[in-house]
Chains A and B, each alone.
Chain A
Amino acid sequence: MQIDYFYPEYEVVRNKEKCTRCGLCVSQCSNHVHSYSEEHRRMITDDAKCVNCHRCVCVCPVGALKITGSNHQFKHNANWSRRTIMEIYSQAETGGVLLSSMGNPKDMPVYWDKILINASQVTNPSIDPLREPMETKVFLGSKPASIERDENGRIRNNLPPHIALDVPILFSAMSYGSISLNAHASLVHAAVDLGTCYNSGEGGLHDDFYRYSANTIIQVASGRFGVHKEYLEAGAAIEIKMGQGAKPGIGGHLPGNKIVGEISKTRMIPEGSDAISPAPHHDIYSIEDLRQLVYSLKEATGYKKPIIVKVAAVHNIASIASGIARSGADIIALDGFRGGTGAAPTRIRDNVGIPIELALASVDERLRQEGIRGNVSLIAGGSIRNSADVVKALALGADAVYIATGALVALGCHLCRGCHSGTCNWGIATQDPALVSRLDPEEGRRRLVNLVSAWTHEIKEMMGGMGINSIEALTGNRLMLRGVGLNAKELEVLGIMHAGE
């Protein structure tokens, strides 16, 4: 007997009348759920191995497969859910720290869904983006505090370095190692086509991508993997990763079995060695220390690149951001607690940090109050799911947004949350060459370009509806937002009125 045996969470349902036993599901499932029994001349499924990634369902040429949740259950208990009980069994058996993939799946408030966008009616006419110009270009970086003139009265160019994006959407950091080379290639090429940037993440930059520097943000994290002079030169901007929404306050750990071949080369560490990113940068214990890293990067790259400081949204995020805005950083990236990850301790992911909506609103407000909002641009991430989320983020104070989970979904991710296994059937969170080859970088590029182009058009329509014709005029324009079903405190933090007011 096994105390923790539980009937599988998912059942693979095969329509025997449709199934032609072609065996495609067998060859496509890296989890070995499907097999064909010669002896019994029938298809066999091992439901216990199914992670519900839908690969077999999608490839089955006759539509014979579906995955359903099992109705096997514990006695109903609103407090002790199946997951809670199973986690205890698992920890009692192994003594291990629970580790999960992708963003927080818990039923926590999603403020985007409680915020509504305005539209003009009679006065301030709406704009038709199909027929009238609409500016979606954004410039990220610090803005000079004043206009300077030379002795002849001409305006002196005192503009600090910026990155110019055609759309207010960037692909956020996912390291090579946590995702595949083909996933990275899809992101890079899409960023080039879209006139935006993707982010290398903290695993270094693969040789193939050095040539796309105008569309690349390179990341420097506490482990400093793959960081060297040419790498620093290779980006349009440099991002210092202080924190990540999915795991605020802790570091990262790519296990040695994933440090193979090109990943070892790109991270510049030996094969098989764990890639440990310590929780803090051990040379940063204060804003002054952060300033030192910011300036050492500026010195190393000749003050030509804006420096981004990425932090997780936590309780005192407004004070933290105030410090960062005084550190010499040009851009602050805020990552909300629903942000994704290749792997994070479950308790941290699900319980630490705050929603990006509240963090963003309070940071924007604090920086304005202190008169330093112009010191930095703000990028908001940590679960931007659609173009309406983008518009709401901009109106709450963001200059642009980061998307990552959404981008992976566009590439085929079905959010099965099995990234840690390394057997991603969609060729995204895996380094198995056979699985990686399932993701065609050209197809990935096309789908990402489609997604962001469609969102951009929707953003233009929403902006047009409000009578706004540029992203700049939308950023921080909270009058364009109203809350529904939010209490007075939530509205106060968000800095918006209730619908009807």
Chain B
Amino acid sequence: MNIDAFAFDFQELNKEIKSSGQEELNIDNCMGQRYIGCGLSRGSLRIRGVPGNALGAYLNGADITVHGNAQDSVGDTMNEGKISIHGSCGDTPGYAMRGGKIFIRGNAGYRAGIHMKSYRDKCPVMVIGGSAGSFLGEYQAGGRIIVLGLGSDQPCPVGYFCGTGMHGGKIFLRCGQLPASLPDQVNAKLADDVDLQEIEEDIRQFCAEFDLDRETILDHPFHVLTPNTKNPYRQLYVHC
């Protein structure tokens, strides 16, 4: 079923999506309507145009594809499902996401993957094809963030303060040079074969999603960042 979003505000559009009862929906002429697919548990949405903030917030299993750019807070507190964006996205994609996958073909803004966390069988994954802004993986508590730097002319495809407050999970950066100012809580090393095995499937899916060559991507050094303790602030306090 196709929905022409042109004439709808966000409430009308989302009502239309929810009440359609269709498993597969195409949304055309998306013009920045917010909260599309909020909490959606199943089915798929294919969006042409630019969805507004909080696309797929609390997503619970549905599959969202955007043929265009997305704005801020893609997949906020996402629990399950998949979001692929053929363009770039704004700030805080994957805020506190607990499960599912976010694939961004282009670049991501500030604070991508902030407070991502894994739990039991849930391990959130975010792959950013281009570069990411500052504060990537801030407070990260679990899951995998992968930044490929495709088309980036920077020696390292992330901004400042990468991994600040990180206390779980991993960040993979496809670059030969580490970010300039890594915080104390982060350990960094060149990824070896064992590390790369972990992201093999993610890269495969990312390439399949955007029709990219997997070999070209993997034939390049990766760095892996991990927290150097699960409890970064344990020594900070004294009780009185």
Taking Cβ atoms with an 8 Å cutoff, the residues of A that contact B are 83, 86-87, 90-91, 94, 96-100, 222-224, 227-229, 232, 253, 255-256, 268-270, 272-274, 276, 278, 282-283, 292, 295-296, 299-302, 345-346, 420-421
Q: Which B residues are CB-close (under 8 A) to A255?
A: 231, 234
Query: How near does chain A come to B145, taking the closest CB pair, in angstroms?
Result: 15
Shortest CB–CB separation between residue B163 and chain A, in angstroms?
Answer: 14
Given contacts A229-B60, A299-B14, contact A268 B240 (CB under 8 A): no
Residues in chain A near residue B142, CB distance under 8 A: 269-270, 273
Are B115 and A278 within 8 A (Cβ)?
A: yes
B69 contacts the other chain (CB 8 A): no
Bound Cα distance from A220 to B77, whole angstroms: 10
Task: Find out whether the CB atom of B58 lies under 8 angstroms from the CB atom of A253.
Answer: no
Name which residue of chain B comes closest to A91, CB basis: B238
**Interface of chain A, main secondary structure:** mixed
Chain B, 49-63, contact with A by CB distance < 8 Å: what is the 0/1 string?
000011001101000
What residues on B are CB-neighbors of A86 within 8 Å? 240
**14 chain-A/chain-B pairs, Cβ below 8 angstroms:** A98-B237, A99-B238, A224-B96, A228-B79, A256-B231, A269-B142, A270-B118, A274-B232, A278-B138, A292-B34, A295-B54, A299-B35, A300-B35, A420-B239
> Which residues of chain B are within 8 angstroms of A346 by Cβ–Cβ distance?
240
CB distance from A102 to the nearest CB of B (A): 12
**B residues in contact (CB < 8 Å) with A:** 10-11, 14, 18, 34-35, 38-39, 41, 53-54, 57-58, 60, 72-73, 76-77, 79, 91-92, 95-96, 98, 111, 114-115, 117-119, 122, 135, 138-139, 141-142, 165, 167-168, 230-240
CA distance A272 to B118 in the complex (A): 13
Establish whether residues B58 and A229, one from each chain, have CB atoms under 8 Å apart when the complex forms. yes
List A contacts of B231 (CB < 8 A). Answer: 255-256, 273-274
| Contact (Cβ within 8 A) B236 A282 | no
User: Which of A90, A268, A276 makes the CB contact (< 8 A) with B238?
Assistant: A90
Closest 5 A/B residue pairs (Cβ)? A96-B238, A224-B96, A300-B39, A299-B35, A299-B38
Question: Which of B10, B41, B53, B232 has the most chain A CB atoms inside 10 A of its CB?
Answer: B53
Q: What separation, in Å, do the CA atoms of A229 and B42 have in the docked complex?
A: 12
Partner of A276, one of B10, B77, B167, B237: B167
Query: Please, how many angstroms separate the alpha-carbon atoms of A499 and B57 in the complex?
Result: 53
Contact among A83, A97, A292, A301 for B237, CB-based, below 8 A: A97
A272–B230 touching, CB < 8 Å: yes
CB contacts between A and B, total, < 8 Å: 138
Contact B240 A229 (CB under 8 A): no
A421 CB contact (under 8 Å) in B117, B119, B238, B239: B239
Taking a contact as CB atoms under 8 Å apart, the answer to whether A282 and B95 are in contact is: yes
- Inter-subunit contact B230/A283 (CB<8 Å): no
**In the assembled complex, which residues on chain A have CB atoms less than 8 Å from the CB atom of B118?**
270
B232 neighbours in A (Cβ, 8 Å): 274
Q: Are the CB atoms of A227 and B96 closer together than 8 Å?
A: yes
Kindly name the residue among A98, A270, A300 whose own CB sees the greatest number of chain B CB atoms within 10 A: A300
Give the shortest distance, in Å, between A178 (CB) and chain B (any CB): 15
Instruction: Tell me the bound Cα distance from A272 to B39 in angstroms.
Output: 29
With beta carbons under 8 angstroms apart, the residue of B53, B58, B122, B236 that contacts A96 is B236
Q: How far is the CB of A240 from chain B (nearest CB, A)?
A: 12
Q: How long is the Cα–Cα vector from A283 to B95 in the complex, in angstroms? A: 8
A274 and B34 in contact, given A86-B240, A232-B58, A269-B141 (Cβ under 8 angstroms) = no
A260 → B minimal CB distance (Å):
13
Q: Given A100-B240, A300-B38, A292 and B115 touching (CB < 8 A)?
A: no
Inter-chain contacts of A420 with B (CB < 8 A): 239
The docked-state distance in angstroms from the alpha carbon of A99 to that of B239 is 5
Q: A96-B236, A229-B41, A283-B73 are in contact. Are A269 and B230 (CB under 8 A)?
A: no
Given pairs A86-B240, A273-B230, 10 additional interface contacts (CB within 8 A): A100-B239, A269-B119, A269-B142, A270-B118, A272-B230, A282-B138, A295-B10, A295-B34, A296-B34, A296-B54
Given contacts A256-B231, A269-B142, A273-B167, contact A292 B238 (CB under 8 A): no
Are A98 and B95 interface neighbours, CB within 8 A? no
Residue of B nearest to A278 (CB): B139
* Complex contact B117–A269 (CB within 8 A): yes
Note all chain B residues with C-beta closer than 8 A to A295: 10, 34-35, 54
Q: Is the CB of A278 within 8 A of B165?
A: yes
A97 in complex: contacting residue of B38, B138, B238, CB < 8 Å:
B238
Bound-state CA distance A355–B237 (Å) is 26
- Closest residue of A by beta carbon distance from B232: A274
Q: Chain A residues near B122: list those with CB within 8 A.
A: 268
Given A96-B236, A269-B117, A292-B34, A283 and B58 contact (CB-CB distance below 8 Å): no
Which chain B residue shows the least CB distance to A288?
B53
Most buried by B among A253, A283, A420, A421: A283
Least CB distance from A350 to B in Å reads 11
Give the residue name and chain of the B residue nearest to A227 (CB): B77
Report yes or no: B58 in contact with A228, Cβ–Cβ below 8 A: yes
Which residues of A have CB within 8 Å of B91? 283
Contact assessment for A274 and B119 in the assembled complex, using a CB-CB cutoff below 8 Å = no
Q: Which of A86, A94, A228 has the most CB of B within 10 A?
A: A228
Q: Are B111 and A296 in contact (CB under 8 A)?
A: no
Interface centre among B117, B168, B235, B239 (most CB of A within 10 A): B239
Across-interface contacts of A83 in B (CB, < 8 A): 240
Q: Could you say which of A86, A268, A421 has the most chain B C-beta atoms within 10 Å of its C-beta?
A: A268
